[in-house]
Amino acid sequence: MNPSSFINENRGALVLFSGGQDSTTCLAWALSRFSRVETIGFFYGQRYAVELTCRHILRDRLLTVVPTWSTRLGPDHMVDLSLPEHIRNAVLADQTNSLPTAFVPGRNLLFFTYAAAIAWSRALRHLVGGMCETDSSGYPDCRDDTLKALQVTLNLGLARQFVLHTPLMWRDKAATWQLAESLGGAVLVDLIRTHTHTCYSGDRSSLHDWGYGCGTCPACCLRATGWKHYIHIRKRRRTGHTLNE
Ligand code: ZN
């Protein structure tokens, strides 16, 4: 598509899609709002590439959750962002900071900058990411202010009017499950529960109530706690319905 048509295209979105719970919920969010949705994924030397396998299955199955979504989902773009070895080694060697060992410096800045370049070439105006300040584990590039500043920088640097959307920014994991339910009902919740992957250990041997994972790493603990809260909220809501009827 000719980039010059950008100004007339307000309904196209590019979603940062890793195959995890958050980015899959964001993809469903975008499919419910925009007439054209494309996805972008990054390989950056992750210890486990399970998420990248999950993304293909999720893209296929999302098409069946809501009939209109199949007409909206467009191509997937994969980008190799393998970090130079000296940066990876510096991160692993730095045990003095309080950030998780999976931390990659400025990862989300890189993601959105690459996404903007692709969105520019595809005439897509909206960029969507699953960053969250509520459960960010201290990642400074997940902060709302960081991404608001990045939107200004990208718009100046590319002479465009991109809009960065972060629908999960102020949601905890329980609220993210609730958002999925509101977008695609129980079918979407179950798809995300059984086919997304967030475990740092890459473990898909055990299916828990909240999905696959080792059950002990920080990502599994966060996901399990969020699921428990979501189920609690859902039960209370259903009980409330019964009382009001
Ligand atoms: Zn785990």
Would 191 be classed as within a structural domain? no
Give a yes or no: residue 202 inside a domain: no
What pLDDT, on the 0 to 100 scale, is given for residue 105?
A: 79
C-alpha of residue 213 to centroid of ligand 1, in Å: 5
Residue for token pair 């400025």? 106
Domain that holds residue 70: 3-176
pLDDT at 124 over 80: yes
Q: Kindly list the protein residues that place their beta carbon closer than 5 angstroms to ligand 1, a single-atom ion.
A: 199, 201, 213-214, 217, 220
Distance CA 115, CA 129 (A): 10
7 vs 5: CA distance, rounded Å: 6
What is the model's pTM? 0.88
CATH of the domain at 33: 3.40.50.620
Instruction: Calculate mean pLDDT across residues 23-39.
Output: 97
From ligand 1's centre to the CA of 171, what distance in Å? Answer: 21
Beta bridge pairs of residue 39: 15, 76
The token pair that represents 107 in the structure block: 């990862």
pLDDT of residue 245: 40
* pLDDT above 90 coverage of the chain, percent: 66
User: How many whole angstroms from 32 Cα to the centroid of ligand 1?
Assistant: 30
Q: What pLDDT sits at residue 129?
A: 97
C-alpha closest to that of 228 among 244, 241, 215: 215
Q: 230 alpha carbon to ligand 1 midpoint, in Å?
A: 19
Q: pLDDT tens, 159-198?
A: 999 999 999 999 999 999 999 999 999 999 999 999 998 8
* Residue 194 within a domain: no
